[in-house]
């Protein structure tokens, strides 16, 4: 008999499970284990800084005491970028040294993203200061937990003062594109964005 699933706030003990989920869904929704020189690299960019800097905005789907899905993010992207540079980057730069630029390989491009948090800032995103990342393991997808995670984050971001939210997803991740469209997110044009589709939505109550 499968354990029941429920949503709850992130706890520091969930860090390993969140890192695992990030890697196992990190290739446009598919398993990214072994794609980079270290399986720590992807979550050090897309999970670790959020867990370290804004754990109060992280929530998980719990299955028998283990996280099998999560949402995390920030209510204030410009402030988060500054905290990333001053508090997160010094912790991880030693194991992911800044590459020569322009970055060429997939590893170099991802490490460059780690060293350039300011790339998260764009004029078109400024009216939507919150942003999130949401991922679920395949066996819990399609059960409504992704929607519940997003709605939980939207409420938390609104309580933190963010009027609106943005997010970006790979053009190759067709499941994610359809997911956000079903939630009523609106596409957002960002100059210079290559290979990424951006969405925005208010943080108020969803219809």
All domains of the chain in start order, with CATH: 5-162 (3.40.630.30)
Residues 48-99: tens digit of each pLDDT: 999 999 999 999 999 999 999 999 999 999 999 999 999 999 999 999 999 9
Q: Cis bond leading into 10, ω under 30°?
A: no
Q: Please give the helix or strand (H or E) that residue 117 lies within, else none.
A: none
pLDDT on residue 28: 85
Cβ neighbours of residue 6 closer than 8 Å, sequence gap 6 or more: 61, 62
Does residue 79 sit in helix, strand or coil?
helix
Position 207 scores a pLDDT of 40
Amino acid 205: pLDDT: 47
pLDDT-flagged residues of the chain (< 50) = 205-207
- Count Cβ neighbours within 10 Å for each residue of 125-163 and write b for 16 or more, e otherwise: beebbbbbbbbbbeebbeeebbebbbebbbebbbebebe
66/109 Cα distance (integer angstroms): 31
Q: What is the pTM of this model?
A: 0.94
């Amino acid at each position: 008999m499968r354990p029941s699933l429920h949503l709850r706030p992130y706890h520091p003990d969930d860090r390993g499970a969140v890192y695992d989920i990030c890697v196992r869904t990190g290739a446009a929704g598919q398993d990214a284990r072994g794609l980079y020189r270290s399986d720590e690299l992807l979550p050090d960019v897309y999970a670790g800084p959020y867990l370290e800097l804004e754990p109060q905005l992280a929530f998980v789907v719990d299955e028998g005491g283990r996280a099998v899905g999560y949402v995390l993010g920030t209510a204030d992207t410009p402030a988060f970028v500054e905290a990333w540079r001053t508090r997160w980057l010094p912790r991880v730069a030693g194991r992911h040294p800044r590459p020569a630029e322009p970055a060429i390989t997939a590893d170099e491009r991802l490490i460059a993203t780690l060293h350039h948090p300011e790339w998260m800032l764009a004029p078109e995103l400024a009216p939507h200061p919150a942003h999130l990342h949401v991922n679920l393991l395949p066996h819990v997808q399609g059960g409504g937990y992704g929607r519940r995670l997003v709605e939980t984050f939207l409420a938390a971001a609104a309580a933190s003062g963010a009027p609106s939210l943005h997010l970006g997803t790979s053009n190759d991740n067709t499941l994610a594109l359809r997911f956000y469209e079903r939630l009523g997110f609106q596409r957002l044009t960002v100059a210079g964005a290559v290979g990424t589709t951006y969405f925005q939505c208010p943080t108020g109550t969803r219809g």
